[in-house]
Structure 1
Amino acid sequence: MRRWRWAAVVGLVVVAVGVVVVTVGRQGSDAEAGPIVVSRSGCGAGWVAPSPGPQTLQVRNTGAVTMEVEVVDPATGTVFGELEGVGSGTTRALPVTLADGAYALRCVPEDGTAFVGPAVHVRGGAVRPGPAVVPVTAADLLAPLKKYHAYVAEGLTVLAGQTGALATAVHSGDRAASRQAWLTAHLTYERLGAAYDAFGDSDAALNGTTAGLAGGAADPGFTGFHRLENGLWHNESLVELRPVATRLDLGVRQLRTDFGEAQIDQNDLGLRAHEIMENTLQFELTGRTDYGSGSTLATAAANLTGTRAVLDVLRPLLATRFPGLGDLDTWLARTDADLYAARGTALANLTRVQRERINADVAELTERLAPVAAIAEPRRVS
């Protein structure tokens, strides 16, 4: 399995909107101030009369449990900055830029109810032009998760028909038909990217590579789409590939049945929107997942479709929270157009200009998608 959880946010997650800009490092007059104390009994002791502009708050947890600490607007709950996992007895730095207005800390103990501390007021700075990011709650994600679950369930039903056709083609001994059926089915699977964690071990069995397998392509643990691809495009006997195709088809049908009761993690929607394209950049656009078909650009386009599916269900939440959504859509369209222009071309046959442009498209799109994970992360607000 070649997917992993996005690790770009380590300890500090900050969502920036308008003039509320995260700055890294010690800045401003408050950088050397004493720590702001948080605990079960109070959230923000010692934070008084903050200055406007960029600064680094020193937050000390004197309580007995780990907690999240957020800088919020006490009236609306919108979030300007956040620290995750502030351990008991530790002091952490929280960089933030403050404009005019009221602020407070919201403390979220790992085993308790979130609560907001006293408000402090910033005066003499820039006028806050608009709201920060309103927290997304677990309740907010129920409808998007339901829609995405339906999207994946429908995709698995289509996929089951396609892997059945693939198995039939392999058993008939028609290599050309088998190759075409393989490509059709594999691209359908690649459009379901945000659900791979919910698939559990099935993802590795259906779409795993030779990475980490001692026997390489001959290893018994090498199964699924890429095992069949390797055989179909390296002229392995179709008789020998029959059990591979049958096993793939049975695995997809079992996954379709099991997925009815599966749960997609609430964190995975926003997270996977970024990871899908990150994996595309690392694996498809380097050719590391090409086992002979030369179809990694088609796979990249399928991954882009999968990313769009995630964004479509999250769009009602992002529309009022993510000012970069318009730019993100622009890069989605550009990447889509450039991949479409290269349709039918193997990665190795791209011109240098084409390859550099597609690489740049996907790299930039990956960066533009990064804030979606932080914005769509479910937060406890009460």
Structure 2
Amino acid sequence: MPETARGAEADAEPGPTPASEPTPPTPEPRTDQPATDQPRISRRRTMLLAAGALVAVAAVGAGVLAARGSGSGGKATAAADGLPHTTVEVATSGCGSGWTHPQAGHQVFELHNTSSTAAEVYLTDAKTGAVYGEVEGLAPGTVRPLGVTLGNGSYAFRCLPDDADAVTGPTVRITGSKVKSGPAAMPITQQELIPPTLAYQKWIQGRTVELAQKTDVLRAAVDRGDLAAARKAWLPAHLVYERMGAAYGTFGDSDGAINGTTAGLSGGVHDAGFTGFHRVEYGLWHGESASGLRGPADQLAKDVDALESSWPAQRMDPADTGLRAHEILENTVQFELTGRTDYGSGTNLATARANLDGTRVLLGYLGPLLKTRDTGFAELGDWMDRAQHTLDGLDHSGKWTPLSQLSRPQREKVDADLGGLVERLADVAALTDVRRTA
């Protein structure tokens, strides 16, 4: 699951599959897939805690003013959606102004930026600083909605203008309610993310050593002309790389060299730029001779050795660590489960299982931070176990069921379990987002 190499694949042709294995249905390409490893960071910041789950902010079009709630003395007014709407000012001199008649329940705040600069806005617990909802990039003169569910408690808006200090608005109290507030999370700082990121980097170092060893076994088999042994050695080596999912953004060009696909290559599988595991895979499962594969196998081993040598000097960005926990399996669903990275071996489900392993490792390092912030963290573990059990049932002593041979119930089970897990991992990305506190 290379983050950089697959970024441009959203609109690319699927990888080739053997003639005996029809390509599984491919969903409509997504238009939000990034073309580089500046992944979905900005999209992550549009997530907010509301209505008991993480949901995307429904933005009012830029430049359009919405003034529902104005002229009502700060009271919420009903809207077409049936929810109370209250206009709240976002400005250094008036952060939170307008919310003067608090009420409990599910509601919408129309955040109106009356200042001359863009700002982020948080609705916080006035006592703890926990965030109930947020909107980023609120441009001057515009209004965007923030939907939340509030129960008894003390709340305050926090406005964070670009290039200026944060301003906390007046405290608003809700009492006498039987409604339970939606989830809130304490902001995570960059400093808190450094220890788990460093621990993960050390784990990756060990995997680069393992990767080099297993790739050497693959190369040796090709060099001596034993293609049956090479086919047997290919998957163990490839799966080591696939378990390293959260580090792909730091691998740089090595990722494309080691695990790139034909996406964007005019010559397809015959293009000189097609290298790495998938190039060797294509040759091994499409009748290429050992002499023809020696060059690609040798180049793969050299690229892996270069990655092993360079990794100790690399530094992962702690701010991206939680986001990667979501992206690994998000890309698994998009590419592995659609067969778009199958170049003949039929092992996409084995790759999905390796991606699951990689996600579990990363969550292990992030666990201490998540357990105190995510009320659904235990449930996330249950979903991880469910997906693992489903995938393991398709492994028959190392011979994985190809996607094209799944029965309809099997296919639906894989899609449901992996898809449900990805939805829950979106919470991890949002909760581990580094937020400004000053």
Say if 1:295 and 1:52 are closer, same or farther in 2 by CA, change over 3 A: same
* Letter of the structure 1 residue corresponding to residue 154 of structure 2: A
Say if 1:47 and 1:22 are closer, same or farther in 2 by CA, change over 3 A: farther
Q: Which residue does 1:381 correspond to in 2? A: 437
Identical pairs, percent: 48
* Letter of the structure 2 residue corresponding to residue 227 of structure 1: R
| 8 Å contact from structure 1 (residues 22, 97) kept in 2 | no
| 8 Å contact from structure 2 (residues 242, 351) kept in 1 | yes
| 8 Å contact from structure 1 (residues 17, 132) kept in 2 | no
Say if 1:93 and 1:131 are closer, same or farther in 2 by CA, change over 3 A: closer
Say if 1:11 and 1:315 are closer, same or farther in 2 by CA, change over 3 A: closer
Alignment RMSD (CA, Å): 2.6
Partner of 1:176: helix, strand, or coil? helix
Superposed, 1:154-233 pairs within 5 Å as 154-233=206-285
* Structure 2 residue corresponding to 1:240, chosen from 292, 298, 303: 292
Partner of 1:45: helix, strand, or coil? coil
Give CA-to-partner distance per residue, 1:204-240, whole Å, 9 cap, x none.
1211111222111001111111001001111212112
Partner of 2:328: helix, strand, or coil? helix
* Structure 1 residue corresponding to 2:138, chosen from 64, 86, 89: 86
Q: Are positions 1:57 and 2:109 aligned together?
A: yes
Structure 1 residue 165: Cα displacement: 2.1
Q: Are positions 1:287 and 2:371 aligned together?
A: no
Partner of 1:151: helix, strand, or coil? helix
Structure 1: gaps spanning 5 or more residues = none
Partner Cα distance (2:285, 2:133) in 1: 51
Q: Which residue does 1:29 correspond to in 2? A: 76
* Structure 2 residue corresponding to 1:152, chosen from 182, 204, 223: 204
Structure 1 residue 300: Cα displacement: 0.8
Q: Which residue does 1:361 correspond to in 2? A: 417
* Structure 2 residue corresponding to 1:331, chosen from 380, 383, 391: 383
* Structure 2 residue corresponding to 1:14, chosen from 12, 36, 48: 48
| 8 Å contact from structure 2 (residues 49, 183) kept in 1 | no
Structure 1 residue 13: Cα displacement: 1.9
Q: Which residue does 1:370 correspond to in 2? A: 426
Structure 1 residue 362: Cα displacement: 0.8
Superposed, 1:37-52 pairs within 5 Å as 37-52=89-104
Task: Identify which range, 14-23 or 266-275, moves more after superposition.
Answer: 14-23
| 8 Å contact from structure 2 (residues 135, 146) kept in 1 | yes
Partner Cα distance (2:365, 2:324) in 1: 13
Q: Are positions 1:2 and 2:58 aligned together?
A: no
Partner of 1:97: helix, strand, or coil? strand
Partner Cα distance (2:299, 2:106) in 1: 58
Partner of 1:283: helix, strand, or coil? helix
Structure 2: gaps spanning 5 or more residues = 8-33, 60-67, 70-74, 80-84
Task: Identify which range, 123-132 or 315-324, moves more after superposition.
Answer: 123-132
Q: Which residue does 2:175 correspond to in 1? A: 123
Partner of 2:332: helix, strand, or coil? helix
| 8 Å contact from structure 2 (residues 204, 244) kept in 1 | yes
Say if 1:209 and 1:31 are closer, same or farther in 2 by CA, change over 3 A: farther
* Letter of the structure 2 residue corresponding to residue 202 of structure 1: S
Partner of 1:234: helix, strand, or coil? coil
Q: TM-score, normalised to structure 1's length? A: 0.92
Partner of 1:106: helix, strand, or coil? strand
| 8 Å contact from structure 2 (residues 50, 148) kept in 1 | no
Partner of 1:93: helix, strand, or coil? strand
* Letter of the structure 1 residue corresponding to residue 6 of structure 2: R
Q: Which residue does 1:266 correspond to in 2? A: 318
Q: Are positions 1:305 and 2:361 aligned together?
A: no
Aligned length: 382
Structure 1 residue 20: Cα displacement: 11
